[in-house]
Structure 1
Amino acid sequence: MAAEPLRVAQVVGKMNRGGVEAMVMNYYRAMDRRKVQFDFFVDEDSSFPQRAELEQMGARMFLLPPYKQMHRWLPALTGHLRQNRYRVVHCHLNTMNVFPLFAAWCARVPVRICHNHSTAHRGEGKKTVMKYLLRPFDALFATDCYACSKEAGQWMFGRRRMEKNAVTVVPNAICCERFCYSDTKRTECRGALGIAPDRFVLGHVGRLAYTKNHAFLLQVFECLLDRRPDALLLLVGEGELRSEIEHKVTEMGLADHVIFAGAHADVAPFYCAMDVICVPSLYEGFLLAALEAQACQLPGVYSTAASQEAMVSPLAVRMSLSESPASWAEALLRQAEAYSVRSGEAGNLAVRQAGFEIGDCARRLCEEYLRKAEAAQ
């Protein structure tokens, strides 16, 4: 009989449609599941849209109390880790990782991975203070440190660890083929959204949350409308700030020019429907949307909070948020004009050559899991 696959405990907290969830799902879909299987530890108040797909792929799921109820969450997680005798636990809660890593240490899990996907911004008040308070303790119970980018690694673990190569950068890789540009997808997606073929579409893909800086995005779009009165703003994603953003759109008189498309399991057709993308984030660990857009040969402008590592082609440029919304609008129009002709493979090639093809990255992570688990026996 074939050996059972190694079960890796993935502690993800909330399982909705955020960037961390997308990254873990991308790796799981591409993983050789005959060798490595994932078990997901998920807060029970998650929307959990991936559940059916996970069950089909053979994942086991453990629902925990919300991690804000730490007095219940911690013993529940510790119990599951101890009972299932995991050899590897992979934690994705950023600065909150100290808690699941402590649980894994208590459960005597030999390989304990602390993975950081983000940084911080002073505008989030108490949340930012908590991040800085917890950050010094995050590697305390970890055997391995991972980050989605060099910037995220340095922010969490410090320059010295990065210089000593004590932090592994695990890129937010994608399936390039899935995001290949298609005229058919563009026509179908625009038709479903009621967008005429000749309308100019500025897009944004991401959570409707503080970090994505939608207030600034709306100012940029307002300036862009002065130059392109036919423009539409297409927002793909959901989040806690949706009602606030909708109110702002109405207040600015933009309601007839903004489409809230909601969250979708497959965002690839939306990139095809756009003419240019704008993501003026206040902070990021990496920026998955930048890779996806470039694979679709969609030009874009991103804030300098987005990792330079994600800018793999001239399609993507970064701008400081200190620049005016009018300057951003001008840059977006220049990008759209420079790359108005799109083809299927050009963007894909740049992303592949930069090392962000998920098949290759998942193979390396699979081998790393197996090597660490074997060494820990």
Structure 2
Amino acid sequence: MKVLQLVSPGFGGIETFVFNYYKYMDWERFRFDFLTQNPALEGAEQYRDFPYGVHLLKTTAGQNKDLFVRRIREIFESGYEVLHLNNCFWTGFLLEELAREAGIRKVIVHSHSTFIDEPDEVKRAELLRRHEEVKEAFSPELATDFWACSSLAADWLFGPQIPRDRIRMVKNAIDVEKYRFQAEKRAAVRQELGLEGSFVLGTVGRMSYQKNHAFLISLFAEFHQAHPRSKLMIVGDGELREALTEQVLSRNLEGAVLLLGWRTDVEAYLQAMDMFLLPSRFEGLGIVAVEAAASGLPCVVSSQVPGDVAFAENIWHRPLEIPVWLSAVEELASREYDRNSGLEAVRAAGYDIRRQAKVLEDLYAGSGG
């Protein structure tokens, strides 16, 4: 069964979601290909062991609609049974219309977010206006299946014309065993990074408007004053890296903040942390919080992160206010935790990819609707 995945222009949570599942699916029964504007997805190092193809979109419908339509029709003629549209917000539904015209059996619209990741306020307002316009105009006849990673993500993408009993919640599942706490791995990474004797706060994510790293630096500056041996580890990169670096320098924190860039072995760096922080302005789910919880880390996440991830008592949701977060971090830091307990809590909440991959296979093979 050939499945065509529409994914984002860069690397992020959507690509993580798709490949997490694909790894544990039956490759003799299912083949994933990708529709993307990201040329780096072809031959990407972290995905080189996966059998997949990439259809690169070199133009958008807004730039040249006729050329875009011809290209999409050509791709759809390659025999895809399933089109899986991984969406963060609405810009239009031309792909859905072309898929239905081409007779693709299953057209899935899948919501992965709850807002628009655009730092420019004017551009964000225009995108939001367009999102609401398209959301209202979208017809349920243009897709066979409606999926979301959380109830908040469902509300964000789907209007009242989509009956709520037709929306399927699909878990952003992970390889829980990969994140199992390992004291030896923790010691090795901490030694490599010079973290022995430090209390390490950390986060993972693209340096973007959504992830709100500026809040994290401000929070850490205050925490570090009271705990001078503390460190902040940031795994990720993105368009706001320069601004973030300047903020670190202006706070005289360059010796205490580790900007590690992208890593393909995120699980190793989670082992080295003592607490995980996710101050996002919005999240469809917050899969990195699931990964952190599986490694047994206490977590403070913003109140904008869906409550779906509150499956362990050491995951605290807090409003984005520095004094509130400082108090939460101080309190969690004073407690003792069994790092081995996190994995079973995540598994019990239904986020074990080995089980959920079989669910996804059944959903693709089903009739839809």
State the distance in 2 between where 1:55 and 1:182 align: 27
Q: Note closer, same or farther for the CA distance 1:85–1:48 as it changes in structure 2 (3 Å cut).
A: closer
**Matched residue, 2:179:** 179
Residue 331 of structure 2 corresponds to residue 334 of structure 1? yes
Q: CA RMSD in A?
A: 2.2
1:254 CA displacement = 1.7
**Matched residue, 1:302:** 301
**TM-score, normalising length: structure 2:** 0.91
Q: Note closer, same or farther for the CA distance 1:51–1:77 as it changes in structure 2 (3 Å cut).
A: farther
State the distance in 1 between where 2:337 and 2:59 align: 47
Residue 19 of structure 2 corresponds to residue 19 of structure 1? no
Q: Secondary structure at the match of 1:185?
A: helix
State the distance in 2 between where 1:70 and 1:220 align: 45
Residue 96 of structure 2 corresponds to residue 131 of structure 1? no
1:60 CA displacement = 2.2
State the distance in 1 between where 2:5 and 2:315 align: 32
Q: Which runs of 5+ in 2 are unaligned?
A: none
Residue 70 of structure 2 corresponds to residue 75 of structure 1? yes
**Matched residue, 1:360:** 355
1:104 CA displacement = 1.5
Residue 86 of structure 2 corresponds to residue 92 of structure 1? yes
State the distance in 1 between where 2:288 and 2:126 align: 27
The one of 85, 91, 101 aligned to 2:96: 101
* Worse-superposed segment, 291-300 or 34-43: 34-43
Check the 8 A contact 1:147/1:170 in 2, yes or no: yes
State percent identity of aligned pairs.
29
Q: Secondary structure at the match of 1:146?
A: strand
Check the 8 A contact 1:224/1:326 in 2, yes or no: no
* Worse-superposed segment, 327-336 or 199-208: 327-336
Aligned pair count reads: 360
**Matched residue, 1:153:** 154
**Matched residue, 1:347:** 342
State the distance in 2 between where 1:160 and 1:65 align: 33
State the distance in 1 between where 2:44 and 2:177 align: 24
* Worse-superposed segment, 51-60 or 181-190: 51-60
* Worse-superposed segment, 269-278 or 7-16: 7-16
Q: Which runs of 5+ in 1 are unaligned?
A: 1-5
Check the 8 A contact 1:9/1:40 in 2, yes or no: yes
State the distance in 2 between where 1:139 and 1:317 align: 38
The 5-angstrom pairing of residues 196-211 of structure 1 reads 196-211=195-210
Q: Note closer, same or farther for the CA distance 1:197–1:166 as it changes in structure 2 (3 Å cut).
A: same
| CA deviation profile, 1:302-331 (whole Å, cap 9, x unmatched) | 01111100121012110012xx31221220
The one of 113, 117, 121 aligned to 2:112: 117
**TM-score, normalising length: structure 1:** 0.89
* Worse-superposed segment, 238-247 or 31-40: 31-40
State the distance in 1 between where 2:78 and 2:153 align: 31
**Matched residue, 2:5:** 10
Q: Note closer, same or farther for the CA distance 1:50–1:146 as it changes in structure 2 (3 Å cut).
A: farther
